[in-house]
Structure 1
Amino acid sequence: MPERTEKPGLRERKKEETRRGLREAAGRLFAEHGFAQTTVADIAAEANVSERTFFRYFDSKEALLLPDGIELFARIEEAFLARPDGDTPLEAACGAITDAVFYFATSSLTALAHPLGEIREQAREGLSRQFQQFEARLTALVLERLPETEPDADLRAAVIANCALGAARAVLRTLRDRRTAGVPVEPDRLLPQAFTFLTMIGATPS
């Protein structure tokens, strides 16, 4: 009898379980021993996998400081598609990013506010790169929300997507600069505030 093969869906679920297990193991070890004292070997052992398996999922332990890019942007896409029809494309993009970021209990904006020096800087840069990589997909989503007959709709969609994600990157830079200057940071407030500023650009002053 030929060997039975796994269905792709089951394989993907097992991969996700392994990825989640590594994140949970790292979280326990970081909390107990600190980030600097925790090694990749420690995390792999805690998750009951090999170091080789660890590196199939993450490039380094610093990568664990970021939300999973695939999961984060899938959440942004889901939130965007769920936005009310009455939202403008910019409101939908900003609202979706806000909803997705705060969906994660260990969101990068909150985690990056804590002083881990150069390690956090690497994580901030990594998140910024993730946003850049997602610009094309968000542009496509915004374009679907625009009327087909609108002139230069592709350009408008690209501007909206880039502005919304750029505002999120601006929050990361502001958190870094304020922490460096010793100014209290409020990561949970800054992202909505950044999007408020963005929607005010070009508005008639009161």
Structure 2
Amino acid sequence: MHKHLLLAALLASLWAGSAAAAPVSANLAQWTSAGDVSVGSATSARITTAAVDSGEQPAGTASALLFYELEPALGMAPGLLPADTIEGSGLQFGFSAPTSTTISFAWTLSTALFDADYLDRAFVVIDGTLFESLADVALTAVNGQFSYTFGAGEHSLAFGILDVNSTDLVSTLDISDLRIGSVAEVPEPGTSALLLAGIAGLAGTARRRRG
């Protein structure tokens, strides 16, 4: 009887070890905001390049930040933003991932008045040092989906929008359907073999008892 209980406990611990850890939770209202950011819900936000000093009306309660203010506000390495950046706004989130974690969201980029000489830009920054462009503004709204999987450990993600070459036009990045979740881990071959052997052992014991 004691052997059966020990084997059952071993199998339970192996199974628990192979299951995915609890997802990393996030609410955009709890992210660090910089510049003109208006959070609509836990999973949606509006980020613009509007600056009060330029006579523009922000969507939120703050104004877009100049590039050298935006970088530290979003945890970026100095000089990370492209050289054509004038100002911008964004959201940043730092987290500790217990296991591989995927962050994804839908985005829409639009501008109040399109000018091919001033292509404002939506962006993401991964772990403070990797800059990626989502898209430049176009004559009509641009839509897309972002997804990135982080390994276990300490990480950060920032995203937002930048005024490029001029501050005359207001562009907007709408974020929706933010999702953060852990990726299921596949058990190591040795763990899987031990788990199967334990199940087989239990089944053999049960057959002998019936016999």
Which of 1 and 2 has greater Rg? 2
TM-score > 0.5, shorter chain as reference: no
Q: What's the TM-score once normalised by structure 2's chain length?
A: 0.26
Which structure carries more relative contact order (alpha carbon 8 Å, separation 6+)?
2
